[in-house]
Structures are given as structure tokens and as C-alpha cells.
Amino acid sequence: MTATTISPSTFPLFSSLAFELRTKILEESLPSEFPPALYFYKEGCWHPRIFTKSDPGYSDKVSENVSTEDLNRKLEFRHDLLDNITVRMPLLFVNHEARKITLTWARNRGIETCGDTLFPRLSLPFNPIRDILYVSANRWDDLFDEPYQRSIKDDMIGLNHRIFNEVKRLAVPKSMLGVFFAMDTFNELSDYYRIEEIENEDEELYLLSKDVAQYLTPGFIANSPSIREIRPVLAVKG
């Protein structure tokens, strides 16, 4: 009878390897990128400021009627003020060496560390190129109304300004489709968000939802009949 070989699930001699080799192995076990994640829309992210030359969207044009300052006064959606998501990284709790390597890796990628020193947590900020802003049905009116309400506060009255928003993708509950998404809705929304409806029914829309499901809170998932009820329906225009 031929003996069956079972591969061990652990590698007890790992600590005997050279430090450089251990470091390389641990670094290679860390993700090189993150899948798109859903971040919850919240109020308080619209803020006015004067853009400088180092800012994307800065304009150096000038005319007799409009000053450079007026051209660069923006009402900006500050996506950096959205609540971060927690990144699960088991390597943090292997040993001191693995933790040090993981924390260095996180700092180099703009991942924030929170919690106490014994049980740190990694917190990932919103990336407008990669991530999706999720708007629940009860926050839909806020999505429209907040930038307008901010533009008529005392510090903005009588001042020329433009809109600057780097968010490129929105997600809404599937139940909102056909109810909220009339053409006039898109026309109004385009005043503040550079978006257009995705027409096709490609399965990739659902696959994207599956990828980000791991980042949703347990409470949110428990209250949803199906993770497929959340789907990206809007994408960047142009």
C-alpha cells in the first residue's frame, strides 16, 4: 500500500531562516493592492477653500471680470473625511517581527493605524480612483441637498465658486432603481457629481459587490436580504 503524504499546515523551522529571507517572505504575504470597497456617505464632507497651484483643478486664468481667486474658490467634497474601513490583517498578530513589518508596510501605503499598541487595527482611507461611495435610501436627499445648503451659508453668500469632487462611483440599493433614477434626477445630480448611469446588466457589477462585501459591517449585512441588493449603478462620466 502506498503511504499518503500529508503536507504540514505549519512551518516550525521558519524562525531558523535568515532574517532577510524571513522579512522577504512576510512582505510577499502582504497584499499588493486592495479591491474596491464601499464607504458610507455622511454629512459634513462639503467644504469651501481657495485652491493653490499644487492642487488638482487649479486654474491660472484671469480676466477683467473674474479674479484668479474667484476661479479657484471651490466647494469641495472632502472624501478624506469619510469614515475609514478596517483592514483585516492577521499578520499583525503572528509575532513582533511580523507586526513591525506589517506596520511599516501600512505606513508606506497611507494606511492608518488605530487602537491600542497591543491590538492595533489598520484603517484604510477612501481612494476615489478605487473605491465606491455608498448612499442608502434614507440619505439620498442629503446627497442632493447638502452641497446646495453649504453653498448658501454666510461664508459663501455672494462669492463665485465652482464644484470640485473626485468621487467617481456611487452605489445605491437596488430597490431604488426605477424609483429615484429618472432623467431629471441625473441632470440635477450632475451639478455636483461627475456621473452617468451604467446601462448594461453585466455580471461584473455583481462581482464587484461580492468583492467589497467583506468590508461591510456585520449589522449592515444582517439587515440586508442579500448582498446583491447593493450594486454599483453609477460610474465616472467621460
Separation of alpha carbons 18 and 92, rounded Å? 20
Would you call 21 helix, strand, or coil by DSSP?
helix
Q: What are phi and psi of 208, to 5 degrees?
A: -65, -40
Pick from 52, 51, 71: which is nearest to 61 by CA?
A: 71
pLDDT mean values, one per 10 residues, the chain (238 residues) = 54 69 80 82 91 86 79 89 85 80 85 79 86 82 84 86 83 64 52 50 41 45 40 37
To 5 degrees, how large is the angle CA 118–CA 119–CA 124?
135
Which pLDDT score, from 0 to 100, does residue 156 have?
A: 86
Residues 6+ apart with CB under 8 A from 27: 101, 105
Closest CA to 35 of 129, 168, 101, 105: 129
- Which pLDDT value is given to residue 227? 36
Measuring CA to CA, which residue among 118, 126, 113, 120 is closest to residue 85? 126
Task: Write down the domain spans for the chain.
Answer: 37-45+126-236
User: What is the pLDDT, as a whole number, of residue 178?
Assistant: 56
